[in-house]
Chain A
Amino acid sequence: MDDAVTVRHLVVDRGHRRVLPGLSCAVPAGAVTGLLGPSGSGKTTLLRALVGVQRVRSGEVTVLGEPAGSPGLRRRVGYVTQAPSVYPDLTVRENARHFAALYGRGARAADDAVATVGLADAAGQLVADLSGGQRGRASLACALVGEPELLVLDEPTVGLDPVLRVELWDRFHALAAAGTTLLVSSHVMDEAGRCDRLLLLREGRLLADLTPGELRTDAGTADLEEAFLSLVRRGEGVSA
């Protein structure tokens, strides 16, 4: 399988802290890859580097064949930040239509994206009046509307009830089946089982790059949380 993203020797400092001390990894195309690790492990920093908004010290990040942050990629990559970044003083529909316009798409595409995240009934409501989970989905709709080739999602399922979470994961797999590459970060290990491939991050280093099945076999336990912990205990760098 081709890689949609390759990262080589990426070094990122935030303040005086070295968040990524030379990370190398790859994200396969047309699959759902989970970026997992405890909070503070550098997940968001890596995602920001992929979408080209993170100042990097050194290293190489190639996204869909172009250097990360290239102007041409802005049409091809969708990014959903951890905190919902939509306008609270606009309705869900107005938010989606605004981002649709920026991607050169019409009102129809916007309404479809709103329906996709299950907010069709709330389309006329101000985002400020929505629940936390609904806000997150509104934010997701604003990325889906551009029909990007690569969708970068930072903790998209935080604050969602289990039913919605399952629905959203089904949606992610449907997108991947249609050819979209998804990179989804999470600090909840039980979501790891839903990914096609896992990148396990700890303190800015890649602890493992494997499938959920391999992780279970490797650690000799069916529980992914347990498996992750045993990897951590075993020490750094299973594969890099």
Chain B
Amino acid sequence: MNGTVATTGRVLRQLRHDPRTLVLMLVVPSLLLGLLYLLWRDLPLSPFDGVGLTMLGVFPFVVMFLVTSIAMLRERTSGTLERLLTTPLSRGALLAGYGTAFGLAAVAQAVVTVTVATTLYDLDLRGPLALVVLVAVADAVLGVALGLLASAFARSEFQAVQFMPVVVLPQFFLCGLLVPREQMAGWLQAVSDVLPLTYAVEALQELGRSETVTGRMWADVAVVAGAAALALALAAATLRRRTS
């Protein structure tokens, strides 16, 4: 527990010393969403509500995946990871610390993006905004967990950034935004069924269309959280104390 708190504080302090990254994290999703809003604003049938909603889940996932995979890769290559593993800090506490720190950053990011989207861009969102933030944060933690896992398979930052399209784009293509899931070929739908982003997007769509919170929304959030926990456990298994 102490180790988790110490790691969370340390990662947040590192972020604080890097204001440009912080600003990019907080502002870029809103700006990109604004671009989509302007793109479709004058069209009679704007898909902005559907796409914008989906992007609320995609942005935190992508950003946190990238940031954590690079951060953990740096720990591995700079020797700080090896050093941490000689201290009383447990591997689980280290990863939980990362998840908590970037989860908190994701709360700030989601609050900014959701607020901007619903006020400036008139995004049609019927469910409670707090739950939209919750789904975005669950998505961010999923991104953190997969980023930590992916860093184990990257030897350099060049490799690490290329895991982003590998991990993110298939999930994005198959999440139901480009083609409704019911209209996909059966096998693609089966693949879509096991990809966690599908559930995050579905949860956001549930929140978009109904004012009352549905059981399906909670089930979707649980799936995303479960996938994040699984990825964290796998990431812990890749952190070897003894290396050659």
Contact = CB atoms under 8 A, between A and B. Distances in A.
A83 B79 CA distance: 8
A55 B79 contact: no
Contact of A52 (B14, B79, B241): B241
B89 interface: yes
A81 B83 contact: yes
Contact of B88 (A13, A53, A75, A81): A75
B119 interface: no
A228 interface: no
A72 to B, nearest CB: 9
Contacts of A83: 78-79
A85 interface: yes
Interface in B71-106: 78-80, 82-89
Interface residues of B, number: 25
B80 A55 contact: no
A89 interface: yes
Contact of B13 (A13, A54, A79, A94): A94
Given A15-B244, A85-B80, A126 B10 contact: no
Interface in B133-154: none
Interface string B52-83: 00000000000000000000000000111011
B14 A102 contact: no
B80 A87 contact: yes
B242 A69 contact: yes
A104 B93 CA distance: 14
B36 interface: no
Given A87-B14, A90-B13, A98-B9, A52 B84 contact: no
Contacts, number: 78
Given A81-B79, A98-B10, A104-B2, A53 B85 contact: yes
B242 A81 contact: no
B87 A74 contact: yes
Interface residues of A, number: 35
B243 interface: yes
Given A90-B10, A90-B17, A104-B2, A55 B244 contact: yes
A53 B242 contact: yes
Contacts of A86: 80
Nearest to A94: B13
A126 B18 CA distance: 11
A8 B2 CA distance: 36
Contact of B86 (A15, A56, A79, A94): A79
A131 B88 CA distance: 29
A110 to B, nearest CB: 12
A101 interface: yes
Interface string A32-67: 000000000000000000011111100000000000
Contact of B79 (A54, A85, A101): A85
Interface string A71-84: 10011010101011
Contact of B242 (A55, A74, A87): A55
A14 interface: yes
Contacts of A75: 88
Contacts of A90: 10, 13-14, 17
Q: Which 5 A-B pairs have the closest CB atoms?
A: A85-B79, A101-B6, A85-B83, A55-B242, A102-B87
